A and B are shown apart, each in its own frame.
Chain A
Amino acid sequence: MKPKRRRRIVLVSLILVAVAVASGAMVYGLSKNMSYLFTPSQILAGKASDYRSFRLGGMVAPGSIQRDPHSLRVDFTVTDGDHTMPVRYTGILPDLFRANQAVIATGHMQNGTFVASEVLAKHDATYMPRELQQAMAQAHAKFHVRLPAQEARP
């Protein structure tokens, strides 16, 4: 009986330690890797100032896309209907990036410009419509744009 009990105690404490370490690591990992989504209005209101890196969501303002002629740098403006935010990005834009389309950009602020490290466009393979749809419900209403969820294609 005794070795069996000892074995059980060792096993149970092993499980407990593993679970404790794992949950600690998970909580830490979650807190370090949560990426919040803000609209230009929220950023200008200072809501994003606590976060070094975050995601910016909105529509690409018409006529704002400017390609640098010698590199892959591109500048454009994201708007939520009330306010705008200049964005700078170097790289390849997604297939469906164009004016008046919803985008989500990941990056950080630098001297009043949002420097994006990644840009996702509507209907892009990684696009996340629901959260942006909610964040921008008002902006969409102003532009009289159909919400992503109401798009015809399933």
Chain B
Amino acid sequence: MMPELGQMALILALILAAVQAVFPLLGAWRGSSALMRMARPAVAGQFVFMVLAYAVLTHAFMVNDFSVRYVAENSNLTLPWYYRFSAVWGAHAGSLLLWVLILNVWTLAVAVFSRRLPEAFVARVLGIMGLVSVGFLSFSVLTSNPFLRVLPAPVNGMDLNPVLQDPGLVMHPPMLYMGYVGFSVAFAFAIAALLGGAFDDVWVRWARPWTNAAFGFLSAGIVLGSWWSYAELGWGGWWFWDPVENASFMPWLVGAALIHAQAVTEKRGGLRAWTLLLSIFAFSLSLLGTFLVRSGLLTSVHAFASDPRRGMYILMLLGLAVGASLLLYALRAPKVAGGKPFALASRETLIVIGNLMLVVASAMVLIGTLYPIIGDALHLGRVSIGPPYFGPLFIAMMAPVVLLLPFGPFARWGHADLREWKRVALIGAVAALVGGSLFAWAASGGMPGWQAWLGGLSSAWVIAGVILYARKRWVSVPAGRRYPAEMAGMLLGHLGVGIFLAGALLTNNLSVERDVRLAPGQTAQVGGYTFRFEGVTDVRGPNWVAHQGTLVVTRGDQRIAVLHPQKREYSGDIVQTEAAVDAGLFRDLYVALGEGLGNHGAWALRLYDKPFVRWVWLGGLFIALGGFVTLLDRRFRVRVTQDAGDSTPAPASPRPVRAQEAGA
């Protein structure tokens, strides 16, 4: 009975989504306040029914209701409860439900926090988000119903894919979806602005906190995904340029460009058309990401949740969304040019260059990711594009961004002070050459390789810029107004870039990997550490049996860690390697079991010493934090009197004092 209730809730949510899409848009067009007022109740109703549908599916997992096919396919009596909870989004139908639920959370948040915005604008925004919801809910109801029954019900379910039975996966998809779906808000704001036709720039200020929040979530989601694949896939790498990683990385790159472009549009009125276009791109790439992962066109780490038939539906949805919004853009955007002029040496120019590089890098990733599909469709042969394509190109494209990054905050809007740039360049260069080289030298324990050296240099260059600017604010601005949230967010984000650079380049250069054959009692040397293999014993978990190795790691006379890598066997003959990691701020020791060799208890083992790998994720978390801190800025709290009532095309810079403060 319960699953049928869930099914009904899902259909009711779809109907309410249609109401939320149609009537407010109609009302905004016709100027009918009655129709526009239907938006918020529809949002609330849809939210309630989505929560209900989602709760029903979760309940089915919790009580092991294997008469529901989705549960039978993705759960098992022996699966621990927390993985049954996360198994809801372990495959296609349920993850789609999560997608829509998160869209509903965002929509509800917009509905609640937009009471002071003009009625017609909010009606359009909620209407657009309703349309997106209709698209995905009808997709769920028509093609991938998670509540389908299987009769007679099996006694036990198959199991959740073992790869997904990891704490990292409990958090990774929800975070990632918060990011993906969050860009729908920026998208809806941009479309609403285009539909409304009043091209002042207030909408950008309203959209900015939402975009920053989405960017923060997406960053955190990608970090979690990277950490999960590091811990779970047993290769010890943190990024593989895997198609599905790329799918989440493309919206991130465009999102990074978007949050900067929005700042220009909000404060200076420039780049309006570009900001609108980026808003459309960021969400389109999020849709494309969903499509790539779900369609089965690209098979990769995440291929477990794919089905080619559904790909067509998402492709149509994608085509419709991108086509319609770009058409609207083409019709309306030419009218929006404007903004204050800026000199060649100005903050605007730096942001434009950064934007360009980020978008070009995103295009590079897009081409590399799609090329195998297109090549296959055109019968050019079956090819794969590997990391050697993405890595060097990405580094080359990001080099100018890193080089210019410290100057950004120092450059004034409109016209930068070149003498100040010279000073920053000088101090930054000295800091990078001395500090960065010393750091790389200390980290390498001797003469650093060029990549480690580059890591130290670029990291010190960026961090020196951040510190210099923080110091300048400290000296020149009275207490209490030194670091408004927006600026603190920017500093945190840029600091994150610096930390990430050190982590990525140092770990690439300094990691030592050895595949060895060890019999019990034998030792292997990896990067100054001695790994002694103590043999393998059998252990049993809730839904698996495993061979568990024991390795004692020592350095000199000091015992560093005892590691227990496992090779687990789940039901259905599925083998899963569980790497053992001794984590540290400055290095990880990582061991994965290969296979048993012969009858003397010898095993193939993969041993790693990975210095600074944690910095990669630490940097990513700082970037995420930067996104979240930014939304606390007081400027983003809409004031009734100033912003909401009229839509005169003036208020690009709201209050002179603050505008100067933020731009100085």
Contacts and interface: CB of A to CB of B under 8 A. Distances in A.
A150 interface: no
A90 B514 CA distance: 12
B299 A36 contact: no
A72 B567 CA distance: 18
A130 B577 CA distance: 24
B364 A22 contact: yes
Interface string B342-378: 1110000100110011001001100110011000100
A19 interface: yes
Nearest to A73: B517
Contact of B364 (A26, A37, A152): A26
B384 A128 contact: yes
A127 B648 CA distance: 57
Contact of A72 (B301, B341, B383, B515): B515
A55 B383 CA distance: 9
A14 interface: yes
Contacts of A26: 364, 367-368, 393
Given A22-B363, A154-B307, A29 B392 contact: yes
Contact of B604 (A10, A32, A72, A153): A72
Nearest to B604: A92
Nearest to B595: A93
B576 interface: yes
Interface string A7-22: 1001100110011001
Nearest to B308: A149
A15 B360 CA distance: 10
B383 A36 contact: yes
Which of A3, A130, A154 has its CB near the most chain B CB atoms (within 10 A)?
A: A154
Given A22-B364, A72-B517, A125-B163, A7 B299 contact: no
A55 B384 contact: yes
Contacts of B597: 67
A58 B597 CA distance: 24
A154 B594 CA distance: 26
A33 B341 contact: no
Contacts of B517: 70-72
Given A10-B344, A153-B158, A154-B91, A92 B389 contact: no
Contact of B383 (A4, A34, A92): A34
- If over half of B's interface residues share one DSSP class (helix, strand or loop), that class is named, otherwise mixed; here it is mixed
Interface in B617-635: none
B388 interface: yes
Interface in B567-583: 567, 572, 574-577
Instruction: Assign chain B's interface to a size class.
Output: 35 or more
Interface in B282-324: 296, 299-301, 303-307
A19 B341 CA distance: 24
Interface string B385-415: 1101100110011000000000000000000
A67 B300 contact: no
A49 interface: no
A3 B242 contact: no
A25 interface: yes
Interface string B108-144: 0000000000000000000000000000000000000
Contact of B371 (A14, A25, A30, A67): A30
Instruction: Assign chain A's interface to a size class.
Output: 35 or more
Contacts of A128: 299-300, 384
Contact of B356 (A18, A36, A152): A18
A29 B386 CA distance: 10
A70 B517 CA distance: 8
B228 to A, nearest CB: 11
29 contacts: A7-B341, A7-B342, A10-B344, A11-B349, A18-B356, A22-B360, A26-B367, A29-B368, A29-B393, A32-B389, A33-B388, A34-B383, A35-B383, A36-B381, A36-B383, A67-B598, A69-B598, A72-B594, A72-B604, A95-B577, A125-B163, A125-B233, A127-B303, A131-B372, A131-B382, A153-B158, A153-B161, A154-B305, A154-B307
Given A126-B301, A131-B372, 15 more contacts: A7-B341, A11-B349, A15-B356, A19-B360, A26-B364, A29-B389, A36-B383, A92-B605, A93-B594, A96-B575, A125-B163, A128-B299, A135-B382, A153-B73, A154-B307
Interface of B: 73, 91-92, 158, 161, 163, 233, 240, 242, 296, 299-301, 303-307, 341-344, 349, 352-353, 356-357, 360, 363-364, 367-368, 371-372, 376, 381-386, 388-389, 392-393, 396-397, 515-517, 567, 572, 574-577, 592, 594-595, 597-598, 604-606
- The 9 A-B pairs of least Cβ separation, nearest first, read A92-B594, A33-B389, A95-B575, A131-B382, A34-B383, A29-B389, A22-B360, A37-B382, A33-B388
